[in-house]
Amino acid sequence: MFGFGAASVPVLEPEALATRLAAGETPCIVDVREPHEIAAGHIAGARLVPLGTLEGHLTGLPADQEIIMVCRSGGRSAMATQMALAVGLRAVNMTGGMLAWRGPVVRP
């Protein structure tokens, strides 16, 4: 379920997140894709914060819970995870990003 990815950040498999959501958990999910990418859909409840603006939003993220970073394929969310960890937040990167996500999506 948890591990460390190539970018040396903690990771969470998409299936594990889907299980947690199905069990009624409401984790802090941050989708760091660009607005035009969101049209394909995002995970329900995700905060939409493009990677380029994330630095200015880190202080608004919860320090008392795990933050799950998501992007298209996992690369940008790995960078976002590193940024969050650097300021002391508990963050993990969802491996494979939305390309690997098989759960439901919300379309704007």
Catalytically active residues are 71
- Give the number of C-alpha atoms closer than 13 A to the C-alpha of residue 93, restricted to the C-beta side: 27
Distance CA(72)–CA(1), nearest Å, equals 20
**Cβ atoms of 22 and 50 closer than 8 Å:** no
- Indicate the residue type of 23: A
Distance CA(87)–CA(62), nearest Å, equals 12
- 66 is written with which tokens? 């795990």
**Cβ atoms of 43 and 31 closer than 8 Å:** yes
